Chains A and B, each alone.
Chain A
Amino acid sequence: MSITIDDVKKLAKLSRLEFSEEETAEFVKELTATLEQVDAINKVDVSNVDLLESTVDADTQLRKDEIKPSLTAEEIVANAPDSQDGAFLVPITVAEE
């Protein structure tokens, strides 16, 4: 499995991270090495393994629908880089979704 510069660029975009050309090239090498390393999983026979995991009982183990106190809007935006009237403030966002 080898990684290309385009792969790294695509991943960087998915990750919302920016890299210089140099860093991108470095990532190509690093990711390729890491993928060789994680290829070890293919040594294990998993043909008889089902993936169903442990579960919680929907009837008895879920949260009751009871209101708990919220924080105040002031507490919620206390760490915000920018806020206005209790709301977080970001640059104008055009509908994407």
Chain B
Amino acid sequence: MSYLDYSLTEVLALLNQGKVTSEQLVNECFERIEETKDLNALNSTYYDEAIKRAREIDSARKQGDKLGILAGVPIVLKDNINYVGTKTTCASKFLENFVSPYTATCAQKLHDAGAVVIGKANMDEFAMGSSNENSAFGAVKNPVDPTRVPGGSSGGSACTVAAKQCFASLGTDTGGSIREPSSFCGVVGIKPTYGRVSRYGVVAFASSLDQVGAITRTVEDNALMLNVLAGRDEMDMTSADIEVPDYTANLNKGVKGLKIGVAKQFYSDELCDDVKNSLNKVLEWYKSEGAELVEIDLPSLDTALAVYYILSSAEAASNLARFDGVKYGRRAEEYSDVVDLYFKSRTQGFGKEVKRRIMLGNYVLSSGYYDAFYRKAKRVQKVIRNEFVSAFEKCDVLISPTTATPAFKLGEKSNDHVAMYLSDIFTVPVNIAGVPSLSVPCGTSSEGLPIGMQIIGKHFDEATLYQVANAYELAHKEGQ
């Protein structure tokens, strides 16, 4: 058994017991990265820096220094998270050579907790996509079945954890970008409550929906990561000034007496049989453990995707306007004047999907259409949010499939952006409502592909998500 087969929590214990060094772990991770490089999970790695830091932590540990709670554990950041001195490309040609002059708060928190950042994960360009096929640096492959997509946009982040290249990674989730790939790759991924984790230093896609979250191999690992990441940041006005509980506190408590909401809108005809069966089994199991199943109605759920495309594209069009070829990133070789420089640099630097969203975003914001699209969508967003808030007056969590199907084939949907957009149909409403949601593996399809369920909670009640997921995970550990 390799050390890479341990969970983050387990390997931390081994580190603290002196049974393994951080340097050994880093070396094993890099060996694995080399063996599995065809997955194309990582855009960059920092072996020398990682080893240096691992040795520092190892020697500090030997001397009995007080260490952070993640001390010595190799982790990976999504390639849209700034970490000073490293490239942050957002998997875009535009930022191919951009070197971060500063560090994102979430990366700083991991660093301060002693984590060893070993690389950055591939992704859909600027986090726009659901299959990780929109990367300027090539598609990422699903480690379970390399002919399939790993999901997106945090495809690299999910892949690298599933392929055991590291013990945890950070992703970002605007409409499902952590949960969908986590589900496709058979790992655990959280989209925290909007405002729970600082967005400072994370390249924005849609500012009002983006959240940073961890991808791990176990629920417990994930709770530990959120303990480090969560909290108010004075550099992000949208980060919430709400106390951070210990997210591991509710683990091993079971689900007896908890109310689990089941909304029919999440169990529509789009579900494939394998997913439907898995979820039915999940719900039965919870019931057998003493949880109460409660029927919930979310009548506006099916409009969430429309709201999402309007709001996220509008914000993206504005957020991505700073990529103009003046200050950093790509500048076209030839241009006639500064306006032409903008046109050429952006046209050459951005991929198709990014352009598509910018165009849509500018359409819904443009004079004459703003009220009908953007303002209307903001109102519908409020309706959806209120529906979730009312639902949580009747239940503690909602459980739904993360995706309607397991991972699809590479190339299968890449020419049909509407079909691709539908991959996010169950995950998007969560971002629209701003609530937290955790995707957890819950079985495999007849083809052996991972299936995930998402557990959705009240605003800032991630602790209950971990409690519910952990109960299931403990009971099904061997079965997988």
Contact = CB atoms under 8 A, between A and B. Distances in A.
Given A51-B378, A81-B325, A16 B343 contact: yes
A78 B300 contact: no
Contacts of A67: none
A93 to B, nearest CB: 5
Interface residues on B, range: 35 or more
A33 interface: yes
Contacts of A45: 383
A25 interface: no
Interface string A29-60: 01101110111111111100101000010000
B349 to A, nearest CB: 10
Interface in A1-29: 3, 7-8, 10-12, 14-19, 27
A41 B310 contact: yes
Q: Is the interface of B mostly helix, strand, loop or mixed?
A: helix
A44 B58 CA distance: 58
Contacts of B102: 71
A71 B342 contact: no
B98 A79 contact: yes
A41 to B, nearest CB: 5
B350 A17 contact: yes
B270 to A, nearest CB: 15
B445 interface: no
B303 A43 contact: yes
Given A17-B346, A88-B326, A79 B355 contact: no
B376 interface: yes
A96 to B, nearest CB: 9
A39 B328 CA distance: 37
Nearest to B382: A49
Contact of B300 (A17, A44, A93): A44
A8 B331 CA distance: 24
Contact of A15 (B98, B307, B362, B383): B362
A26 B340 CA distance: 23
B457 interface: no
Contacts of B363: 3, 7, 11, 31, 35
B302 interface: yes
Interface string B313-326: 00001000100111
Nearest to B386: A49
A82 interface: yes
A44 B299 CA distance: 9
B306 interface: yes
Give the size category of A's interface with B: 35 or more
Task: Name the residue among A15, A56, A77, A81 with the largest chain B CB count within 10 angstroms.
Answer: A15
Contacts of A63: 234
A41 B303 contact: yes
A60 to B, nearest CB: 10
A51 B374 CA distance: 12
B383 A40 contact: no
Contact of B377 (A7, A11, A14, A41): A41
Contacts of A34: 309, 360, 418
Q: List 4 A-B pairs, minimum CB-CB distance, nearest first.
A: A79-B328, A81-B331, A46-B379, A40-B306
Interface of B: 97-99, 101-102, 234, 237, 241, 300, 302-303, 305-307, 309-310, 317, 321, 324-331, 335, 337-339, 341-344, 346-347, 350, 355-356, 358-360, 362-363, 366, 373, 375-380, 382-383, 417-418, 421
